[in-house]
Structure formats: structure tokens, C-alpha cells
Amino acid sequence: MRTYQITAKQLVLLALVTVVFAASAVLFYDRFGPSLLGRLAGAKTEKVNLESAPVAGLTDPSVASDEKNNQEVYAAISPGVVNITTTSVVRDWFSAYQAQGSGSGSILDKEGRILTNYHVVQGSDQPGGSLEVALANGNHYPAKLLGADPDNDLAVIKIDAPKESLTVVPLGSANNLFVGQKVLAMGNPFGFDRTLTTGIVSGLGRQLRSEMTNRLIENVVQTDAAINPGNSGGPLLNSRGQMIGINTMIYSPSGGSVGIGFAVPVETAKRVISDILQYGRVRKPRLGIDTVPLSRFSQRLIQALELPVSEGLMVLRVAPGSAAARAGLQNAEEVQLGRYTTAPLGDVIVSVDGQKIASSDDLDRVLKDKNIGDRVPMEIVRNGRRQALTVQLAELPNSDR
């Protein structure tokens, strides 16, 4: 066997090469590391810009007549409102058939991304489904779903169209709206392209429940501007031509507009758009639990289970690998009460981040302003005793998402 001798000079040279390599690695990571890690985590590297530029060609609404303002807003913004046709496959016990629906959307940028309601495009990404977008110039383009937030009934889709044919609908703010403020609704009701209706903000801070997930949509804008089937997904605008909401729902026993329409506030849409463009999905902190409120338990059952509280959320199931599982929350067990009756007995969540929890809506309100990675204190009741836990918020595991 041959052996090799390393001289002192070679050792010094080897040490210098190692130092240079290590320094280069550190510099490389500082420059490119976060971007590479973001890609591995599913993030896009593009910059997300949701700032609004002033709408060109609009007279100051404070000096323009109402009629002139309506005309100018319509002329400037209507080319950015699109008609969306959805084809989905509906399956029943005996057969499968195609169903079509239509709605509206707002062009977000020159890349062809469009904001709309989730219920407008629901099912389009399943086998046999499709999306088509019609622009104001009459051209039609196939579209693909980039991401959605069924909890807030929002979705972002994309078309490949020439930049010069895309008119962007600018995003405004719903933070300073007031009852009585003028608003304009655009959309495609009953298939009539780019229709304009006007009205006022008739209520603020409303709550709607998502028809897809049954979760509350907070701070919804109420308006008396006529909103009809086909308006869904179109913009609710202020007098400066900026989107302040997304037309979503009407209250109507007859199915037509009766003067009460609802729009998801644009601040909610901005969070959804930012997540979808960066990660391809809406990232929400979830505990990963199935629960039942104690309000559904009779007082007799609460006493039989020897629970020291009558309000809270009883944990029935904890998703493996979820934030709740890592914090130590446990699945419920069935206990027998009497000869035939069984009941669940598990951890009862009574407060999160210092807020009392009596329903799943209470829990959603606490979590909606939190970020993934936040550490949140929680108080539970286990085996009749109060116990403090700390939960580090995370997304749901893929299997439960």
C-alpha cells in the first residue's frame, strides 16, 4: 500500500482553500439562500404588488356631477370586468352530466390574473371541468385556477392574453367606508355583459357564512346597488373607480335583487391574492382539530361527564402532525353513561390567547389575525382540571388540508 506525505506548505494551502470555500458558501447563502428555500417550500419569487394607482381620466368626484362620475367610472373600469363561464361535472346516484355556470371577475394585472368568487369557478379544476373568460373586446380565452379560499368565497384564475388587451381594475380600501357612501357595482347579470348599477353602502361589519365551508366571512359590505345572478365575482367600486369589495351574495326570497347585496371587503381579497401569488394557496393557521361546542350538551350530560365548565369546545379528533397534536391535545374517548348511552369525553378548549372560546366561530376569530409560527397560549379542561398549553400555529398537514 502506498502512503502519501502532506507537507506543511500543502497543509497551509489546504486551510486557505477551505476558508475561501466557506466564505463563498456564506456569501452565496446570504444572496440566494432565502429565495431557494422559498422555492422549496412552494413559494414564488415574483414580487407581489397590490398597490393601486389613480384611475386616469376621472374628474374629481367632489366636483363632478353624479351622472358624469358614473359615465367616467364605467368607461375606465368596465373593460377590466370579465365574463367567466364555468363547466363542471355533476355526479348523482345514476349518472354524471355537465353543468354550466357564469359569473364575473376583475383583472388584477397585465399577467392576466383575475379575481372572482370561488363559487363561480367551483368544480372547474376537477376532471371534465373547464373555465373560459370573455374580455370586453369579445375575445375568449381558456383559464386555469391558480388558487382559492372557499372560507371567504374568493379565487384567482389566469388567462394568457396580450397585455394591451388587459385593463387592470385598481384595488382600493374598505377600511374607511361609511354608511351612505356612493358605490358602483359592475358585472354580467343574467348574461348581460358589463352592466353598471349604483347605490350606497347601506351597512358595514356584516357577517356572512360561506356556503362551501360554513365559516364566517367577516366585515362584509352591505349595499343597495342592484346585484343579480351573474354579478358574483364582479367589483364593487367607489366613486374613484377603485375596487372596495367583491360582489358575492344577495338577500332575496325571490332570487332577484331586492336592495340588499353583500360584498367581501377588498382587504380580505388582498390577503388571499398575496398568498395565492406567492405560495399557490392561502396559508392559514389551523389547529387541526374536530370539535363540538358544549352548548350542544344538555346540562344533565355536562354533570354526568363531571365537567367543571358549561362553555367551551370539546376536542373530538386531533389530526396527526398538526399544531394541536404537537401541543399535546388529545382525541376524545367514548364513555358509557347508564346502560346504553355513550358520550364523548375529551379536552375542552375554554380560552385561546386570553379570549373566551364558546364556539368554533370564536376560535376562528382569534386565529384569523394570527400568523403561521405564532405561539399562542391556550387553556383547556382535562379530566376535570384546568391546564395551560402553548400552541405554535401551523398549516394543516397535507392529508387534512
The residue type found at 90 is V
**Hey, how many other C-beta atoms are within 10 angstroms of the C-beta on 353?**
16
Dist. CA 17–CA 14, nearest whole Å: 5
Nearby residues of 262 by Cβ (< 8 Å), 6 or more positions away? 206, 208, 220, 221, 222, 223, 227, 247, 248, 249, 250, 251
Rg for the chain, CA atoms, rounded: 27
3-class state of residue 236 by DSSP: strand
The DSSP line for 285-324 is: -B--EEEEEGGGS-HHHHHHTT-S-SSSEEEEEE-TTSHH
3-class state of residue 196 by DSSP: strand
C-alpha cell at 75: 368607461
H-run or E-run covering 342? strand 341-345
- Let me know if 18 is exposed, middle or buried by CB neighbors in 10 A (0-12, 13-18, 19+): exposed
H-run or E-run covering 344? strand 341-345
The DSSP line for 118-180 is: HHHHTTTTSTT-EEEEE-TTS-EEEEEEEEEEGGGTEEEEEE---GGG-----B--STT--TT
Dist. CA 396–CA 321, nearest whole Å: 8
Catalytic residues: 119, 153, 232
Q: What are phi and psi of 302, to 5 degrees?
A: -60, -40
- State how far the alpha carbon of 312 is from the alpha carbons of 61, 264, 331, 350, in Å: 50, 29, 16, 5
3-class state of residue 259 by DSSP: coil
- Identify any residues that bridge with 24 across adjacent strands, giving them in sequence order: none
Q: Look up cell 373586446; give the residue.
A: 137
